[in-house]
Structure 1
Amino acid sequence: MIQAADCGIGIEGKEGKQASNSYKRSAALGQFVMHRGMIISAMQAVFSSIFYFASVPLYQGFLMVGYATIYTMFPVFSLVLDQDVKPEMALLYPELYKDLTKGRSLSFKTFLIWVLISVYQGGILMYGALVLFESEFVHVVAISFTALILTELLMVALTIRTWHWLMVVAEFFSLGSYLASLAFLSEYFDWSFITTWPFLWKVSAITLVSCLPLYIIKYLKRKFSPPSYSKLSS
């Protein structure tokens, strides 16, 4: 219905409005869940290629479970609360729905963009950790995994168009949960290393290189090719 309807036709009722809102949120959520899985797959591919394709997992045990659940789940699924304009604005300007007929929120192009983002970030996180790690391999895990969590949280913030207070809670809860769990994950993290300045600047540097270019691209895109709703949300 959304793809075929003209502006104001077949989308004016309550069901149509709810479907259009659900479409954009579902598109953002679905593609970000895909990104969350592909970025760690890219890191594993880089890691395996450097070590002659040895069948050794980069992250094991609770790290993989924690990454898929408490460390990233709440911020990612908080994207269902995102909205480009307020509901009353959408009702007042039905021409905004015209963009939905073009299918730009979920297409092969957007899928390819998220694939490229995942490969880029996964490569930066893994190569950066391997270049900057200290004398022990456990430091590679500590640097790359911490940078991965921070990157995911920043990418959620980059994707959000309108902040909801629950989104802020989800971001801080996930970050706090990760930091608190470091005290109990001595099997994967060397506490004497992760509390040092070298660890902090290396994680910060890798995360910055991973995310800053995407923030710059988003800023330039909004400046020179703003979406149709930007004037209403400003």
Structure 2
Amino acid sequence: MLTGDKLETATCIAKSSKLIGRDYDIYTFKQIATRETCLQEINMFKRKNDACLIISGDTLQICLSFYEKELMDIAINCPAVVVCRCSPTQKANVVELLKKYGNHRVRVCAIGDGGNDVSMIQSAHVGIGIVGKEGKQASLAADFSINQFQYLSRLLLVHGRNSYKRSASLSQFVMHRGLIISVMQAIFSTIFYFASISLYQGFLLVGYGTIYTMFPVFSLVLDQDVRPEIALLYPELYKELSKGRSLSLKTFFLWVLISTYQAAAIMYGALIIFDDDFIHVVSITFTALILTELFMVALRIHTWHPLMVVGEILSFACYILSLIILKSQFDTEFLRSWDFIWGVTVITLISCLPLCILKFLQIKFKPPIQQKLMQYATLK
């Protein structure tokens, strides 16, 4: 906590806001003027186990001039740090030091409600301004603005968590959508001795990235894996995000593997099942590709929103309509045949059914923590 209040006032605010717990020890840095006394105070504080640090702005400035790294290392590992009698420039400097000496995955969030907090808010990775009696300077300079401090928990635990989860799902599906059609094109080229022939041309290629798959994929921003009241009741769900498991190298290579498998299943499935009718490869593979993408989006969703259902139906309806309009791209008589219907169904099942089985086994034997909490809340 960085504040311009006196030491006693800052200590009382830290305790009343529960920044400093009742069972925490408190160590107050004495006023220092020399390098020796600074080192003595740092060594004294190191002997305290899990003690909260309270230090004035003048003392902090002197300590940073002599032992910047040592002081920041022990301050970062403290349960809580209170800097009182702190100027606006010092607030911004402390935020910069936290960004410098913190872990590379740590993000610094600065929260303020007055004009003297603007420099601190702008120096942080994320700035949150509170509209209060001191005006709207902090709110206008911040990335996020709230009316009351109590809204911070919902901003972080609900909206912040959902934003991270949704961004991860959206980026993964955008990657999956582009990678699967690229692998299919590569397989198609290898079948025809690496000839530079495009598998899908014209409107199909443009429509795949827009109207055929855009609505379902972007509807993932409405998904939520837990209800807001559960996210507020169990803050550990937010802490779990710090491990970065939703968007990491592991998930990247996992989606690359999924995209490669599904592309191979569609192309080689069409080659095996429709060996005699491979002239209709565009109709067969493109239909299976659209169905696979729609099914994968549905498989990823945790909580269905009405707009998600509309997006799925609208995308499939647009594709059915294009089958009727684009007669130059599709053979209408072949599309009405039973061979086309059952063949595309089999290819889609081959590409999607193994992933459904794996997801069922994961939920059954090793469910994620949010799945456990949702089941527990349902039982209650």
Same-fold call, TM cutoff 0.5? yes
* Between structures 1 and 2, the one with greater strand share: 2
The worse-fitting range, judged by mean Cα deviation, of 105-114 and 83-92 is: 83-92
Contact 2:154 2:232 (C-alpha < 8 Å) held by counterparts: no
SS at match of 2:369: coil
* Matched ranges for 1:189-228 at <5 A: 189-228=330-369
1:138 and 1:190 in contact (8 A); partners too: no
Question: Residue 93 of structure 1 corresponds to which residue in structure 2?
Answer: 234
Letter of the structure 1 residue corresponding to residue 213 of structure 2? T
One of 273, 276, 279 as aligned partner of 1:132:
273
Change (3 A) 1:64 1:143: same
Aligned pair 1:61/2:202, yes or no?
A: yes
Residue type at the aligned position of 1:157: A
> Counterparts of 1:71 and 1:227 in 2: how far apart (Å)?
31
Q: Partner residue of 1:109?
A: 250
- Number of residue pairs matched by the alignment: 229
> 3-state DSSP class of the match of 1:229?
helix
Q: Which has the larger radius of gyration?
A: 2
- What does residue 156 of structure 2 align with? 16
Match of 1:233 in 2: 374
Letter in 2 for 1:113: L
How much does 1:135 deviate? 4.6
1:92, distance to aligned residue in structure 2 (A): 1.2
2:155 maps to 1:28: no
Residues 159 and 26 (structure 1 numbering): CA distance in 2 closer, same or farther, change over 3 Å? same
Deviation beyond 4 Å, 4+ runs, structure 1: 134-138
- Shift in Å, 1:12: 5.7
Q: Which has the higher helix share?
A: 1
Q: Is the 8 A contact 1:138 1:189 kept in 2?
A: no
How far 1:169 moved relative to its partner? 0.7
Is residue 2:197 matched to residue 1:47?
Answer: no
TM (normalized to structure 1)?
0.93
Name the SS of the counterpart of 2:310 in structure 1.
helix
Q: Which amino acid aligns with 2:231?
A: A
Aligned to 2:66: none
Is it true that 1:176 corresponds to 2:317 in the alignment? Answer: yes
Supply the distance in 2 between the matched residues of 1:39 and 1:196 (Cα, whole angstroms): 27
Structure 1 equivalent of residue 218 of structure 2: 77
Corresponding residue for 1:167? 308
Distance 1:13 1:229 in 2: 18
Q: Percent identity?
A: 63
The 2-side partners of 1:199 and 1:190 are apart by: 11
Deviations 1:116-146 (A, max 9, x none): 0000000111111122226555411100000
Q: Deviations over 1:165-189 (max 9, x none)?
A: 1101100111111111101111111
Measured after TM superposition, the shift of residue 197 of structure 1 is 0.4
Using CA pairs under 8 Å that are at least 6 residues apart, name the structure with larger relative contact order, 1 or 2.
Answer: 1
Consecutive unaligned residues of structure 2, counting only runs of 5 or more, are 1-98, 100-104, 108-125, 127-150, 376-380
Tell me if structure 1 keeps the 8 A contact 2:213–2:315: yes
Structure 1: segments with no counterpart, 5+ residues: none
Q: Distance in 2 between matches of 1:131 and 1:61?
A: 26
Superposed CA deviations along residues 64-105 of structure 1, whole A, max 9, x for unmatched, are 111111110000000000111011111111111121011000
**Considering only aligned residues, what root-mean-square deviation do their CA atoms show, in Å?**
1.8
Paired AA for residue 78 in structure 1 = S
In structure 1, give the amino acid aligned to 2:156: G
Please say if residues 231 and 237 of structure 2, whose CA atoms lie closer than 8 Å, have aligned partners that are also in contact. yes
